Amino acid sequence: MNLYFLIAKRFLFPKKKFTSSAINFVSFVGLFIGAASIVLSISVLNGFQDILKSESIKLYGQFEIENYSDKADKSIKDYLDSNNHSYSIYNVDELIIISENKQSLIQFKSVTNQSITDFYNLYLTEKHEALSDNEIIIGNALASRLSLDIGDKVKIISKDFKFSSFGVPEAREFIVANIFNNRILRANDSLIFGIIKDSKNKNLSFEFNNSEALNINLSSKISSWKDRNKQLYEATEIEKKITFFTLSLIILVASFNLSSSIMQITSKKLKDLAILMSLGMNKTGIKIIFIIYSYLIGAGAIFLGIFFAILIINIQNSFALIKLDPEFYLVETLPMNLFIGDILVLVAGSLVLVGIFSLIPLRFVKDMSPNQIINRQI
């Protein structure tokens, strides 16, 4: 194997320069750019996906049990209590909020004061104090749209409220006690936190973050943050696949150039190949030489491109050099995160492509003898 490697290395770095050297350079640069582009693009999409996850968990928890039953599902509550893990039992209603001449459809999330303190991670404008029954916490996007500030009064209408003599539900007055900020626009613009009072005869839900609790047998269905943000999560997953496929075309073209380089090398080195075959090297050995040759270029470019991309990711995460407009992107700096699985898929796919294209120009070798090669040189 050392002999094959030495010969391949000699073909790659000859004393006399061939036209194939330029093709080798183009192939190397193409594979380098392709690998680096895929890693950087996927890491950005991963970064935004991580933001979606973290911001969702802050408001909704990592897991949710709908139609929670204190009798049937009490085991999970006991487990979390015994392990000192926080959770939230809540109720959500679709209501209408009215401020002067403006109104909006909202989700009124009724929780406990302890849940606001211990479970939810809200970026509040002011220090949190226990809410009374007529106080609420609203998102800053909703506050901006309805021109509300802390201390302002609003009216909320629900079908569950007391009906007037005209047959319409009465409006109940609430005070804006605080304003939260979250990077999920949907929540920032429509979610309101209030205090749960009478939990009887209500469809309660249960939120928690401990994944070990999933091993407990429950009668109710458990959904995760991915399920609650299914459209956004699936959109980012599809975008990752499209990005990976599109940028893989760069690697495909570079691999094709590498195939052309091998074709030129074999035609330039026919005399050397004939000598090797006369000395006893079989056709399989010739193929191994050129496979090693292609991987010296391909693997080197791919791993160097990945290393370069990882370096860029670490620099960005450490120094935040690339700034973003938070009003549009919801973050101040470009988020980047890389998973080992993404690198493994890239390396495996790229090396397979390089291997396939390195074998294509070697098909004629199996039908060629040393005498034929020498006759072609005469």
| pLDDT surpasses 80 at 176 | yes
Give start and end residues of each alpha helix (H) in 83-176: 113-118, 140-145
| pLDDT surpasses 70 at 288 | yes
Say how far apart CA 110 and CA 129 lie, in whole Å. 16
- Mean pLDDT to the nearest integer, 56-85: 87
| pLDDT surpasses 90 at 70 | no
Side chain identity, residue 262 = I
pLDDT tens-digit readout, 241-279: 999 999 999 999 999 888 888 888 877 777 777 778 777
| pLDDT surpasses 70 at 364 | no
Say how far apart CA 250 and CA 353 lie, in whole Å. 11
Say how far apart CA 191 and CA 204 lie, in whole Å. 17
Q: What would the two tokens of residue 306 be?
A: 């990945």
Band of the pLDDT at 370, cuts 50, 70, 90? low
Say how far apart CA 189 and CA 107 lie, in whole Å. 10
- Mean pLDDT to the nearest integer, 219-246: 88
- Mean pLDDT to the nearest integer, 274-290: 82
For the chain, percent of residues with pLDDT exceeding 70: 89
CA distances from 53 to 82, 237, 341 (A): 27, 13, 19
pLDDT for the residue 341: 93
| pLDDT surpasses 70 at 194 | yes
pLDDT for the residue 242: 94
Exposed e or buried b per residue across 95-107, where buried means at least 16 C-beta atoms within 10 angstroms of its C-beta: bbbebeeeebebe
Say how far apart CA 202 and CA 92 lie, in whole Å. 9
Q: Among the listed ranges 142-151, 176-185, 241-250, 262-271, which one has the minimum average pLDDT value?
A: 262-271
pLDDT for the residue 189: 93
- Mean pLDDT to the nearest integer, 126-131: 90
| pLDDT surpasses 80 at 124 | yes
Q: Which residue has the tokens 């995160």?
A: 337
pLDDT for the residue 373: 59
The better pLDDT of the pair 362, 378 is held by: 362
What are phi and psi for residue 206, nearest 5 degrees?
A: -135, 125
Band of the pLDDT at 125, cuts 50, 70, 90? very high
For the chain, domain boundaries: 2-55+231-377, 67-220
| pLDDT surpasses 60 at 337 | yes
Say how far apart CA 252 and CA 185 lie, in whole Å. 39
Say how far apart CA 91 and CA 74 lie, in whole Å. 17
Side chain identity, residue 356 = I
